[in-house]
Amino acid sequence: MTTSVLVLNSGSSSVKFGLFDISADAPALLCKGLLDEHEAKPRLVVTSPAGDDLFETRRTASGSDSGHLFADVLGFIEDRFGDHLLRAVGHRIVHGGPDYSGPAELTDDVYAKLAALTPLAPLHQPRCLAPVHIIRAMKPDLTQIACFDTAFHHGMTPPASRFAIPRRYDERGIRRYGFHGLSFEYVAGRLAQIAPELVAKRTVIAHLGNGASLCALRDGRSIDTTMGLTPLDGLVMGTRCGTIDPGVLLYLQQHENMPVEDVQHLLYHESGLLGVSGLSADMRTLLASGSVAAHEAVELFVLRAAQQIAMMATTLGGLDCLVFTGGIGEHAKEIRSAIGERLGWLGVRIDAAANDAAHERVSGDGDTVDVFVIPTNEELMIARHCVTALRTVKS
């Protein structure tokens, strides 16, 4: 019988998913979809690998909870792919803490350890873990596997992994973990296919989207990254602040009398592009706007990205390759161009025609730094990790 895995990639208001055939050497996408709880009538949309509509349903307010939507997904899979054995469900889990450097079966003990990490990713961790309970209630014997955004950075060592605080806190796990690891891992593998001669070179991958971070890469390994203990650090993001003077947080608490919960909400939900523009967290909206505040938000996003690409280059001792990925990195040619202009002193040149056409390579022949646009695929990366984990379970 053909076997498959269901991959769930939970975001702040929706869940992307993919069903993969794992009978052959490499996972093959059977269908993909979205569980969108953000709309007035939450919906499930399923499409073929080519993007053709296969199924859609909407839920009324009385039946709009996530459990109903997940039941719809499993029902569709059973109806459409009943000849496949659903072997496992793979979940993107944002924070794996110090213990997990690879995929792990979601036993009760593992789940408890991951739930305890919620203070380090309060926006993401509960959303990632919620489907585990729902699926378990529906299919208690179905294997569930955690795949971690932090795992790719697990080999980072001092000084890149350290904060400049007393060592006793590092020993308690207060260190820089990094995130977006599933995306970076996929893009690193794709780059090795496209340009194997660059694998040993000094590469920075820029995952730019509503969440955004950079990874300094050499020999296929993460050497440094811009996010730290939590997904708040580093670049300006859709609603998150990125790097900020910690004195600002002390001031808000001590002199604005803001409770910790309000500060947390401010940093995760009201800052970034939304906070600076006062208009939107969506880069497309800001680029189309003529307002001064929207322009300033875009400028700040570009400046921080360029500054921190240079910071990653410092860790690497130079820059040979720059890769753009993520929603903004893949689709916003204006942002790629503006970042390239700021990094001209570092040897970055972006060919205007190639950039406008979103070619895979957007640098010119003979340029000092090779620049690529590589779409990410976190769901496929999770499916690959599930295959690895299932082999371990069998053995």
Distance CA 28, CA 21 (A): 5
Backbone angles phi, psi at 42, to 5 degrees: -50, 145
Distance CA 389, CA 172 (A): 28
| Closest among 11, 172, 145 to 90, alpha carbons compared | 145
Domain over 2-148 is classified CATH 3.30.420.40: yes
Tokens of 151: 């795992």
Domain ranges of the chain: 2-148, 197-373
Tokens of 284: 């497309």
Strand pairing class (213-218; 221-225): antiparallel
Catalytic residue among 149, 224, 320, 351: 149
Whether the domain at 2-148 and the domain at 197-373 fall into the same CATH topology: yes
**141 given a catalytic annotation:** no
User: What is the CATH code of the structural domain delimited by 197-373?
Assistant: 3.30.420.40
Q: Which amino acid makes up residue 89?
A: V
3-class SS at 82?
coil
Strand pairing class (104-105; 143-148): antiparallel
Please list the residues that pair with 214 across neighbouring strands: 206
| Closest among 75, 100, 98 to 86, alpha carbons compared | 75
CA distance to 17, 19, 119, 207, 297, per residue, from 330 (Å): 20, 24, 31, 9, 19
**pLDDT tens, residue order, the chain (395 aa):** 789 999 999 876 689 999 999 998 899 999 999 988 766 678 899 999 999 999 888 876 555 466 788 899 999 999 999 888 999 999 999 999 999 999 999 999 999 999 999 999 998 999 999 999 999 999 999 999 999 999 999 999 999 999 999 999 999 999 999 999 999 999 999 999 999 999 999 999 999 999 999 999 999 999 999 999 999 999 999 999 999 999 999 999 999 999 999 999 999 999 999 999 999 999 999 999 999 999 999 999 999 999 999 999 999 999 999 999 999 999 999 999 999 999 999 999 999 999 999 999 999 989 999 999 999 999 999 999 999 999 876 54
| Closest among 278, 284, 325 to 297, alpha carbons compared | 278
